[in-house]
Structure 1
Amino acid sequence: MAKYSKAQWRPISINHTKGGQTSVRGLVVHIMAGTLSGTDSWFRNPAARASSHFGTGRTGALYQWVDTTNRAWAQANGNTAWLSIENEGKGGDSLTSAQMDRIAEVFAWVHKTYGVPLQVAKSPSGRGLGYHAMGGSGWGGHTQCPGTRIVKQLPEIVARAKRLAKPAAPKLAPFPGAAWFKRNPRSPLVTAMGRRLVAEGCSAYSDGPGPQWTESDRRSYAKWQRKQGFGGADADGWPGAKTWSALKVPAV
């Protein structure tokens, strides 16, 4: 099963095809022409012959009706290769900021789960964040869905998704002070620093037993300092505040 953990799971037993999602090119934005609760009820009606994977409310609610390994009935010929997200409102509306956030969250999850690029799609042959009207007659001829105002919001939704998908910066170790190294300490911090030096292209960073700062470390660090353009006291092989900051040693 493929469910987005931050969505409220509201499974429907009808109006979709089990196991019918053969590939994922992206996520298609729709407008409900109604309310979230009304759409939730409609998707449970056999007469509807329609469904969507996801749906947002104007105040920020997020539902998931169909597992993304199954085919929702949202955009005719586009159902086999595209996921779908309905949005509370009517034609001509703009999405609220809360709705844009929910779509961005789902799109970032689709990117991570299916490798969909974080970009706006403009045709059924593209990949990314699309919209119902781009499919033309093959997608049911819904040329006003979701409307021009929402289409203009798609680049901002992609930008929000990119911020969400960006890996968090690693936490770095604070500079312990130059005297700390001159005491020749045995510490995991020395090991972490040595690994960073190796990653930066320096040779083996220790010729002593265990994680301790040695003369070999000092020479390796001096070589790296010079390679980074440091000179004088900043390239003497002893970590200083500036060179420590440049090395970006992870916290231990």
Structure 2
Amino acid sequence: MAAPLTAYAFARALRGEGVRLSEHTDWQTHNRNHKGPWGPVNGVMLHHTAGRDSLTLCRDGTAALPGPLCIGLIAKDGTVHLVGYGRTNHAGAGSAAVFDAVRAERTAPSPPGQDAVDGNTHFYGFEIENLGNGSDPYPAAQLAAVERLSAAICRAHGWSAASVIGHKEWTRRKIDPSFSMAGMRTRIEARLGLRPVPAPEPEPEPEPQSYEPFPGAAYFTPGRRSALITAVGKRLVAEGCGRYRVGPGPVWGEADVLSYAAWQRRLGYVGAAADGIPGRVSWDKLRVPHA
């Protein structure tokens, strides 16, 4: 049982274990903490996505299951995409007997018992990009990333590999991940016996980044030229909403409108509300850095 690591300490622990990270916008504060507690934490839970190209889904979720759906998505190439931090919609209810075993760092019972404990409160959750059909391979780089990030969290908390479980071990409702958890725990335990990759020297906590204030919808008229418009376009491209054939550039035009409309739809706006003209709420969520 432990308090969760801060987002800064968490990312530093993963890097210290040699995990390659991709940090997505506002991952440190994107969570479901308003729906219930996160912590004390007792372990790491692993899942597979049962699909491909799952990054947006893991970050945003669905109308029925809002995101984030995990802290990180482990891609085929071994990159860990950080999409949230805190309570996430990954575990659901699970076995009290399994929870007791994880807390005691002993082998969990199989099959798990009746669902009774909220796993979203007590586990760091990670999704692994895989169809889960038995024929989609887990590349060596991907399994190495699973091993390293699990070991990093266990090392930071002083846990053994018994604190790492699969969703299929938590509840009878699930079958993920579709590889041997016993084999993965053997790898994690072996890594915990090794010296970790040296972490970088301690750095100060980063100062909160400030962003461009909303200039008003009237600012975005066709032909308006400014460095701010280029900065908006770059953020839209970074969020996967760019609809540019060339650019983005400093002149507000049709491609900017199409790109911003894609961002509005990403946020859940429909119809006339996704008109491609920035409003204050969608602007604040885009977090455009100072031009």
What is the aligned partner in structure 2 of residue 96 from structure 1?
139
Q: Cα–Cα, structure 1 residues 95 and 133, in superposed 2: closer, same or farther, change >3 Å?
A: same
What is the aligned partner in structure 2 of residue 146 from structure 1?
177
Distance 1:61 1:100 in 2: 11
Distance 1:40 1:163 in 2: 36
Distance 1:95 1:160 in 2: 20
- Could you tell me how far 1:111 is from its partner in structure 2? 1.7
Q: How does 1:155-166 map to 2 (within 5 A)?
A: 155-159=185-189, 161-165=191-195
Match among 58, 63, 66 for residue 81 of structure 2: 63
Q: Cα–Cα, structure 1 residues 86 and 145, in superposed 2: closer, same or farther, change >3 Å?
A: same
- Could you tell me how far 1:167 is from its partner in structure 2? 8.6
Q: Cα–Cα, structure 1 residues 80 and 145, in superposed 2: closer, same or farther, change >3 Å?
A: same
- Could you tell me how far 1:114 is from its partner in structure 2? 2.0
Is this contact kept in 1: 2:40–2:122, CA < 8 A? yes
- Could you tell me how far 1:134 is from its partner in structure 2? 1.0
- Deviation string 1:39-92 (CA, Å, 9 cap, x unpaired) is 33453245242410121111111111222xx21110012111111111011112
- Could you tell me how far 1:31 is from its partner in structure 2? 0.5
What residue ranges of structure 1 are gaps of 5+ in the alignment?
121-127, 169-252
Q: Percent identity?
A: 17
Q: Cα–Cα, structure 1 residues 112 and 152, in superposed 2: closer, same or farther, change >3 Å?
A: closer
Distance 2:72 2:41 in 1: 15
How many residues are treated as equivalent by the alignment?
152
Is this contact kept in 1: 2:155–2:192, CA < 8 A? no
Distance 1:40 1:109 in 2: 25
Q: Cα–Cα, structure 1 residues 45 and 31, in superposed 2: closer, same or farther, change >3 Å?
A: closer
CA-based RMSD? 2.8
What is the aligned partner in structure 2 of residue 133 from structure 1?
168
Is this contact kept in 2: 1:22–1:80, CA < 8 A? yes
Larger Rg: 1
Q: Cα–Cα, structure 1 residues 110 and 42, in superposed 2: closer, same or farther, change >3 Å?
A: closer
Distance 1:155 1:95 in 2: 16
Is this contact kept in 2: 1:108–1:162, CA < 8 A? yes
Greater than 6 Å deviation, 4+ residue runs: none
Q: Which amino acid aligns with 1:38?
A: S
The SS at the match of 1:58 is coil
Distance 2:83 2:57 in 1: 11
What residue ranges of structure 2 are gaps of 5+ in the alignment?
1-5, 16-20, 93-117, 199-291
